[in-house]
Amino acid sequence: MLSLHGKHSVIISRIPVMQNGLGGVMTRNFPDFELTYCSSLQELTLLQLRRADVIIADISGEYWNPRGALEEYFSLMNQYRDIHWIFLVSRPLNPIAVELLVRPESTLLSDMEPIEGLVNAVRAGRERAERVSQMLLTPEPLSSEEENEHLIALTHSERKVLRLLGKGWGINQIATLLKKSNKTISAQKNSAMRRLSLRSNADMYAWINSSQGMRELSLMSAYGEFEEWKKPIQQAILPSSKIAR
């Protein structure tokens, strides 16, 4: 239950590890904030909106109808202008995010942003925080070595499956999320492994956690992958583990 005093922050992310990471950042750096969590914008309640001082929304995984999802945020921002809206944005979504979400009360951060970037944005507040992170404005250079690594091309579906596996999701959960059968998800995982010449699940997770894998799958997020969350992530990807918030 939300208290009547103090500050309130809502964290929105479909990824349990991301939720935990963002919550950890807020708890350590802003202990005066009371936190609530949502897996999607649809879970956000009227009470949470009325009480919120800061809403941190991870929109990096909005692969399906991203314009529609961001237009929903745009509509809410027009209604609740006293909230500081902080969005974590992947590079592919950046153009749409800039078009729809750059407002006086919003901040756009890269999903690869250092933890200090989020802390500084919350601390600065909606009136003084940077509108768009320099990480989103600066082109990402590729070395010749990285260009060679990207010659190993995964399909969009294969990349999504591996990325979710790397975030701690199981086959059943991915199938439910993507509205596909377990058999289809397993086939896409196995197809990706063949493309990458990986012979076992252990090889697959080793590749996912390599620098190449994290770049390929956009997993090098400060909120889900840095050292302070390595242990929760490793526990989450064990076959017998269950994902829970």
pLDDT digits (tens, 9 = 90+) for 176-230: 988 999 999 999 999 999 988 888 888 888 787 676 777 777 665 545 544 433 4
Q: Is 8 helix (H, G, I), strand (E, B) or coil?
A: strand
Which pLDDT score is estimated for 233? 40
Kindly report, residue by residue over 29-40, the tens digit of the pLDDT.
999 999 999 998
Q: From CA 245, how far away is CA 235, in angstroms rounded?
A: 13
Which pLDDT score is estimated for 63? 61
Which pLDDT score is estimated for 92? 79
CATH class for the region spanning 144-236: mainly alpha
Mean pLDDT of 50-61: 91
Kindly report, residue by residue over 86-137, the tens digit of the pLDDT.
999 988 788 889 999 999 999 999 988 888 999 999 999 988 988 999 888 8
| pLDDT above 90 as % of the chain | 42
What is the C-alpha R_g of the chain?
A: 18
Nearest residue to 107 (alpha-carbon basis) of 128, 80, 138: 128
Mean pLDDT of 169-181: 91
Contacts of 68 (CB under 8 A, 6+ apart): none
Assigned fold of 7-137: Rossmann fold (3.40.50)
- Within the chain, all domains assigned CATH 3.40.50.2300 are found at 7-137
pLDDT at 85 over 90: yes
- Within the chain, all domains assigned CATH 1.10.10.10 are found at 144-236
Q: From CA 104, how far away is CA 101, in angstroms rounded?
A: 10
List Cα–Cα distances, 159 to 30, 136, 164, in angstroms. 35, 22, 9
pLDDT at 146 over 50: no
Work out the number of other CB atoms within 10 angstroms of the CB of residue 74. 15
Which pLDDT score is estimated for 211? 65
